[in-house]
Amino acid sequence: MPQPAPLTTHARFGAVVDKWRQHAGFNGKTLAKLVYKSASWVSGVQLGTLRCKWEDACALDAATGANGEIMQAWKDFVDKSAYPPFYDDFPREERTAVQLRAYEWRLVSGLLQTDDYARVILGGDERRMEGRKRRQEILFRPDPPLFHVLLDSSVLTRMVGSPKIMADQTRALVKMSHMPRIFIHISPQEVYHHGAAGAFIIATQADRSEMMYAGSMGGGSTLVLAEHLSEAHEAWDILRSEAMNAAESRAFMEEKGRAWNS
């Protein structure tokens, strides 16, 4: 019988809030009024789908009489989490995956970003930078996953930060494309498939179970339903069939790198 997935850090904090809400004899609406929030906000915090701010954790602690336990849980779980709630599940799946397939149409895949490139994307948030670096470690361990990346060609011509950052990023992509288990393929800008409306990455485990993270303007979501994964696989296969091979992609990246250096 499969074991339930461990709670995310945000959900572990939410469980502490829920425990003290019940201990105080409140329902969600009552607690929401006491902390000047909505019932849906309280529900989101308890489920781990919303990130709770420190001042709100203090208010929850005071309202439920938690004697500092909710505030301590915030320090232990929320403050130390390097990932936003909508992404918190996926890094665990990524770490144990035997294969990863990513499609990016706007930015370099997070696993392949240089520090300077990532710092621009993440707005200099050091906690998120820490999480990004921790994710990238999987590519350099003794048993890295097989990593296939499809990059839209426009990613290499869209400036992020400065020409130097782009030149360094492009050089890093070329270097990583020589690693034995990393395959970078450039998808021509004119190629389109309706199933690839945004970036996504699929993590496949040794038992062939899968989870997908799909990006969006609001943040993104983790998906495990067969219908979502099937659509992503179809989009991936079609886009991959139209993409450049590894050698052509490397030559394209080298050409764009020279352009950023000029």
pLDDT in single tens digits along all 262 residues of the chain: 334 444 567 778 888 999 999 999 999 999 999 999 998 889 888 887 777 888 899 999 999 999 999 998 888 777 766 566 555 667 778 888 999 999 998 899 999 999 999 999 999 888 889 888 988 999 999 999 999 999 999 999 999 999 999 999 999 999 999 999 999 999 987 666 555 568 899 999 998 988 888 876 556 677 777 888 898 899 889 889 999 999 999 999 999 999 999 8
- CB proximity list for 37: less than 8 A, separation 6 or greater: 56
Structurally, the chain folds into a number of domains equal to 2
Q: Which amino acid makes up residue 132?
A: R
CA gap 94, 102 in Å, rounded = 11
13 part of a folded domain: yes
For residue 182, what is the enclosing H or E element? strand 182-187
Residue length, the chain? 262
In a domain, 194, yes or no: yes
Domain range for 141 is 85-261
What is this structure's pTM?
Answer: 0.69
Antiparallel, parallel or unpaired: β 219-223 and 210-216? antiparallel
Q: How far apart are CA 67 and CA 24, in angstroms?
A: 12
User: Does residue 195 sit in the same domain as residue 129?
Assistant: yes
Residues 166 and 242 in one domain: yes
